[in-house]
Amino acid sequence: MLFNNPDVWEITLLSIKVSGIATLISLLIGFPFGTLLALNKFPGRAVLLTLINTGMALPPVVVGLAVAMTLWRSGPLGSLHLIYTPSAIIIAQVIISAPVVTGLTTASMQALDPRLRLQLQGLGASRSQMVFTIWREARLSLFAALMAGFGSVISEVGASMMVGGNIRHQTRVLTTAIVLETNKGEFISAIALGILLLLITFMINFALTWIQQRGVKR
Amino acid sequence: MSMRIELRNIFVHRAGLPVLEITNLILKEGRVHALVGPNGAGKSTLLMLLTGLIAPEQGEILINGQPVKDLRDLKYRRRVGLVMQDPLLLNMSVYENIAIGLHFRHVPGREIGRQVEDWVTRLGILHLLARKASTLSGGEAQRVALARVFVLQPELLLLDEPFGALDRKTRIGLLNELKILLPTTSATTIFSTHDEREVDVLADNRIELASGKISATNDV
């Protein structure tokens, strides 16, 4: 019955799309920034690392509040008319996910033997060749960062609710739909949507884990 | 091709303390130079400097008679090959490990295959090509590390205690192989060691370092 409902497919696809885009943007920010933090020493690095690590534990509802205040019509970016749109949810989810990806990328780069960089440079690697080679070397940990980043946003509800508004056919995603159904007392629907969310999360993580574990030594 | 290197009034400091002070050192082209001295004498610092991984605070470096502004320049670094005490192989196949420096230089795939096969044959590790690097023994891994650098045909070959982590039997075997292989390359070679037997077997020239300064140089 659940799968015959077009609304369910719509919110499922929107959930995957919004969280997928947010995760992708987080990777584009987190991989280079995390690598920069791991491989370079500069003034203020310790403070930045502390901020990133704090960011890994940001409460989604607080992020939602901050983004909502920024995007409200009276807010500093109100003229962009992004509040209660999927774009607003993506912005909030990037703020939640990017520190997770950045922090885990930094940790995985720092876990590699520091002499490896010298060896690669000693083999004639340019800066970009060196970075891509150590990313390849740390690919297991970087995939874990990707999965943690995706996991932090596909399951959050506070930010999506505050900046998306849970508007039917526009910004309703699986987590906000579960809250709505629960508030209406429609527990069977809420449980079914919850199972669907778990199933999607499992399938995406199963695919990523399969890619991650290919080529791992036995 | 090989390189003649001249170092004049080189100073390298770390945490405010001098770690290398070389008034004058000439490394003649095509010769094998042994760097000896106790731990902390500055051997690795000198090798890192010549690899282009660190820059001196002061001094002048001449390559084949021409002053060089910065050894960290990629063009210079690609004329040099470094082998460290620990092979530091990447988590990939032996072939991919040996080919990586050639990939960095954008050498065509067919040429990479030819050069890799040539050097693994010379080093007796042809049978290891398809193996994962993580499955190799210490001696096999160090042979792969040597092949990875020889395949680049460097003008300057730098070996930082290349036999230091090997057992006695493997060390003697590899030492004898290098004695035969090194003259087949035209590279200027510098290797650091604590072992005078390695100096006797491989080196044409012995450079002794103590507290960052050259205390003696002599032909072997």
Asked if residue B121 belongs to a domain, the reply is yes
- Chain B residues whose CB is inside 8 A of the A118 CB are 48, 51, 53, 82, 84
pLDDT tier for residue A215 given thresholds of 50, 70 and 90: low
Residue B204 has pLDDT above 80, yes or no: yes
Shortest CA gap A125–chain B (Å): 6
Q: State the Cα–Cα distance between residues B198 and B15, nearest whole angstrom.
A: 33
| pLDDT at residue B8, as a whole number | 95
Asked if residue B17 belongs to a domain, the reply is no
Interface touch B53/A122, C-beta < 8 Å: yes
User: Considering all CA atoms of chain A, what is the largest pairwise distance in Å, rounded to the nearest integer?
Assistant: 66
Q: Which domain holds residue B197?
A: 29-57+69-219
**Predicted model pTM:** 0.88
Residue A79 has pLDDT above 70, yes or no: yes
Mean pLDDT of A136-142: 94
Interface touch B90/A136, C-beta < 8 Å: yes
Q: CA of A137: which chain B residue's CA is closest?
A: B91
- Chain B residues whose CB is inside 8 A of the A136 CB are 90, 92
Residue A218 has pLDDT above 60, yes or no: no
Asked if residue B176 belongs to a domain, the reply is yes
ipTM: 0.89
pLDDT one-digit tens code per residue, B82-140 = 999 899 999 999 999 999 999 999 999 999 999 999 999 999 999 999 999 999 999 99
**Which one-letter DSSP state was computed for residue A112?**
S
- Chain B residues whose CB is inside 8 A of the A217 CB are 91, 132, 134-135
Q: State the Cα–Cα distance between residues B66 and B6, nearest whole angstrom.
A: 9
Q: State the Cα–Cα distance between residues B35 and B22, nearest whole angstrom.
A: 13
Q: How many CB atoms lie within 10 A of CB B122?
A: 16
Q: What are residue A144's phi and psi, to 5 degrees?
A: -65, -40
Please give the torsion angle defined by the CA atoms of residues B154, B155, B161 and B165, in that order, rounded to the nearest 10 degrees.
Answer: 20
User: How many domains does chain B contain in total?
Assistant: 1
Interface touch B84/A124, C-beta < 8 Å: no
pLDDT one-digit tens code per residue, A146-193 = 999 999 999 999 999 999 999 999 999 999 999 999 999 999 999 999
Q: State the Cα–Cα distance between residues A16 and B182, nearest whole angstrom.
A: 59
Interface touch B149/A123, C-beta < 8 Å: yes
CB B25 within 8 A of CB B6: yes
At position A86, the amino acid (one-letter code) is: P
Considering CB atoms only, which of A115, A129, A133 is closest to B90? A133
Residue ranges of B 154-173 with Cβ closer than 8 A to chain A: 158
Fold of A14-172: MetI-like fold (1.10.3720)
Asked if residue B9 belongs to a domain, the reply is no
Q: In whole numbers, what is the pLDDT of chain A averaged over residues?
A: 94
Asked if residue B10 belongs to a domain, the reply is no
Q: State the Cα–Cα distance between residues A188 and A202, nearest whole angstrom.
A: 21
CB A84 within 8 A of CB A73: no
CB A150 within 8 A of CB A16: no
Q: What are residue B33's phi and psi, to 5 degrees?
A: -105, 130
Q: State the Cα–Cα distance between residues A175 and A166, nearest whole angstrom.
A: 9
Q: State the Cα–Cα distance between residues A89 and B46, nearest whole angstrom.
A: 55
* Radius of gyration (C-alpha) of chain A in whole angstroms: 20
Q: Which two tokens stand for residue A124?
A: 């004639």
Asked if residue B20 belongs to a domain, the reply is no
- Enumerate the H helices of chain B as residue ranges: 43-51, 74-77, 94-104, 109-122, 138-150, 168-181, 196-202
- CATH number for the domain spanning B96: value is 3.40.50.300
Q: How far is CA A118 from CA A123, A166, B67, B146, B154, in A?
A: 9, 52, 24, 16, 17
Considering CB atoms only, which of A124, A129, A136 is closest to B152? A124
B3 touches chain A (CB under 8 A): no
Interface touch A122/B82, C-beta < 8 Å: yes
Asked if residue B45 belongs to a domain, the reply is yes
Residue with tokens 């002061």: B58
Residues recorded for chain B: 220
Angle value at C-alpha A55, between A49 and A58, nearest 5 degrees = 160
pLDDT one-digit tens code per residue, B5-53 = 999 999 999 888 899 999 999 999 999 999 999 998 999 999 999 999 9
| pLDDT at residue A49, as a whole number | 96
Residue A85 has pLDDT above 80, yes or no: yes
Asked if residue B97 belongs to a domain, the reply is yes
